[in-house]
Structure 1
């Protein structure tokens, strides 16, 4: 039977300390629900002693119907030369209504003297008194030994004394923190092994990623005896971030045979990673291990030829185990096998011999010569292939659009788009404003379609890129527009090319919405994606 490892998520607290990360109370509540569905054991909601937002979160979190996770509140040990019973920060932890408190204290003698400017003995008393007081209030207590590895390397005897004090006071967990993220896996392994041999309390690891070793250090700690891992979704966090749970969990479970979450919960990992990224308004790197869009993407013709015979040739796990999927990229650099693999993925009957196949290949080559690039626009490629095989029909027909850009009385630049569409034989005119011409077009297009497909409101544009193709032509050059869209469950990309940036954007926007809606016309197809069918009003 696999050894269980407890997952402690601190995305809502430590993760929000990352540059550019800001979550509203509503955002934090939504993410907490997703984390619970993923099966994490603890969700650190914030520091109720630091700001009103976190106080509101803990108040509203009581209404969450969580089935797996415990909400924890974060704080520090009591202030020096004071009493735990009257410490305002400790009492806010008690008043927050949580059943679990996580507090940190100093392990490094340098920090004791320099940061909190007290004696080594008083620091030990601060740790003991704080843990003891929270335990007397009926709370489960997780003690985070801040800067433990640096402290141990500088003064092992004192660092061990600090965590022994937490154990003596009744701490349920002692978590060793590599707060500066500067330790190496070999150091972590050795030190965690020593701690586990000297303490009876359960031990955890909290690693930062300053040397890009947050995940490696977390795995090393578990192999040395730690049974709790603290980290964040997508590695969000201060400076270079925290240990990325999207890599920690599958590495522990699929590579090292530990048990973190159920198989079904693990299959939601990619969806959770993308959901949290969208809520935080941070683009998920395509090359992020396990959950990135390119984690199981293949471009080289030799690679694709091999995975068509057996995916194991170039994939270290089955992508579906973590909720991801294999992708074959089609470009001018890829061989014919890439296109055949793509068609096979879509259940289209395509082979090297038919005239239809040769025509499609020539069509793609011609489009690429014009400036299209499909390796980053899977959705546009799928639409192209399905049209060639008569597998779909358009659910709407664009007739025309007009754009007006000008300044209003407040000297603000305003864009207005007027769109004419045919949907189910009905002509629809709409107009909408936006903070730019592309945004105005997007708003007008949605406004025209929402009465026929109400759930289209769930999808939105998540990224927009423009690339000049022929720089020598200056302002007359062709541009390639890549639009990324999402519905919180799926992300897809479409492409448009033109000498006119607005026309290229329009083309990419149309394909984006077509892709979201093709499920309606293909509801009986074995390859229709349920997630996209969910966007359509049946």
Structure 2
């Protein structure tokens, strides 16, 4: 990589990304993502294929009103369908109608596609590329040429592939983007081919890779090392089949590992936030194991690892998590040692006695026993904190559920009814309530809150935002244990709690009770200076 050349960042989340399975974006979704990409520092935002569907056409109309500071919006499409009809080609007409400052068109650079798929001679295919690019250039647009199937085509017939690039260059294309469309090329092949052809053109080269061989990011980085100065990809690697090159991984590798620089100063410490934002818009759960930005990317579970991290974090972390907006986490589980307990206690602001070895042994054994029973504290840190503080004598539950009953009624020609009845004791007072709900767990949640609201009005500020059930002993069928994980929020902070039982209602009640107790503890007893984030109460 030439450090003197700034790299252009081209995002195709809104076009190529939406071709992925279960990926769907509304026009408003695309506008929101476009604004976020521009804020982050992306150079080009590929908005879609205007001739392919009304949604993309509407996006381009509304994108004209976006006040972008860094990015140029690009429309995407193909060359004209056949020579001799360039001016009237509906695809090119649609691209021009989108009024974007940049246009990206793709053409065939693998002889098999040109000859078999389109039935064109070499000269006709080259003419098609030349005339299409020139037509768009004459209309005053910046044109980027995507050389479709370039690496497969070059390996099959180098002369043909280069001839198609030369046609785009002679017509005035500002970028020649080499596409590994099938995603099967290896990193050393990418490097070798780009090195070989770089002297054949004066136009900057770009790279567009797919992840069918799980090498899209590695291939993109190899291309940049070989001299490419333009890289395309999607946020979180979404896209058709196995996805596109993941810009979320490419960006930190370039900046932190390859000493490269992008045209605009990127907000690298917002990388994790950008990844989560796109997942949220897509209504998809974030990938916890994603490099750099995943919740588990800097999570440590084994006791030996944690002991080392406490001394020097770089011993088990390849970068500073804060540089990409992430954070170090230590998990508490059946693999935990005393180092895990000490780390989590320090993180939670709990002062553990240094000389009480018996306490640490008791805590470690207690956690291992509970995890053996099915509890999972590495994803339910609020339940772990309550457990630890209870052992320290700092926490007592704010209430006790004396009885709970759930009534479910359904049948043919009968409206489903779910009702929970709850008897709760608070400070020697007993409250009896009932509530209807959308399902038994919702009814249970409503009844518990209703019983506690008179005593603890601050629970009005919290809500359940996620609920998951996992069957732990599948072979036992309907008598198997289940683990319930609940995520709650007070609109500023979120926390997770866990419950385990052979009875899904009981497991849910455990997790709900922990969630409310955790919120009340933060509001009523935890000293403000020990809070990692202030909790609105």
Summarize the Cα distance change of 1:200–1:426 in structure 2 as closer, same or farther, 3 Å threshold: farther
- Correspondent of 1:372 among 359, 372, 375: 375
- Correspondent of 2:241 among 236, 239, 242: 239
**Structure-1 residue corresponding to 2:228:** 226
Whose Rg is larger? 2
Question: Alpha-carbon deviations, 1:339-360, whole Å to 9, x = none?
Answer: 1111122232225523655554
* 1:524 equivalenced with 2:534 (yes/no): no
1:85 alignment partner, SS class: coil
Question: Alpha-carbon deviations, 1:112-171, whole Å to 9, x = none?
Answer: 012222222222122112211222222221111100001111111111111111111111
Question: Alpha-carbon deviations, 1:253-312, whole Å to 9, x = none?
Answer: 111011238787111111221222232233333222111111111111111111111011
Query: CA offset at residue 191 of structure 1?
Result: 1.2
Across the aligned residues of Structure 1 and Structure 2, the Cα RMSD in angstroms comes to: 3.6
* 1:500 equivalenced with 2:514 (yes/no): no
| TM-score of the two chains, using structure 1 as the length reference | 0.86
Moved more, 170-179 or 478-487: 478-487
Moved more, 390-399 or 246-255: 390-399
Query: CA offset at residue 207 of structure 1?
Result: 0.3
Note the 1:91-490 alignment, pairs <5 A. 91-260=93-262, 265-354=267-356, 357=360, 360-361=363-364, 363-386=366-389, 403-407=406-410, 415=418, 431=435, 433-434=437-438, 436-438=439-441, 441=444, 456=462, 460-461=465-466, 464-469=468-473, 475-483=478-486
How many residue pairs were aligned? 529
CA distance in 2, matches of 1:486, 1:413: 29
1:149 alignment partner, SS class: helix
Structure 2, gaps ≥5 residues long: none
| TM-score of the two chains, using structure 2 as the length reference | 0.87
Moved more, 263-272 or 199-208: 263-272
Query: CA offset at residue 453 of structure 1?
Result: 7.0
Moved more, 255-264 or 236-245: 255-264
1:74 alignment partner, SS class: strand
2:9/2:44 contact within 8 Å kept: yes
1:278/1:488 contact within 8 Å kept: no
Summarize the Cα distance change of 1:379–1:195 in structure 2 as closer, same or farther, 3 Å threshold: farther
**Structure-1 residue corresponding to 2:57:** 55
Summarize the Cα distance change of 1:89–1:414 in structure 2 as closer, same or farther, 3 Å threshold: farther
CA distance in 1, matches of 2:511, 2:263: 39
**Structure-2 residue corresponding to 1:4:** 6
1:152 alignment partner, SS class: helix
1:470/1:477 contact within 8 Å kept: yes
2:459/2:519 contact within 8 Å kept: no
**Structure-1 residue corresponding to 2:15:** 13
2:331/2:378 contact within 8 Å kept: yes
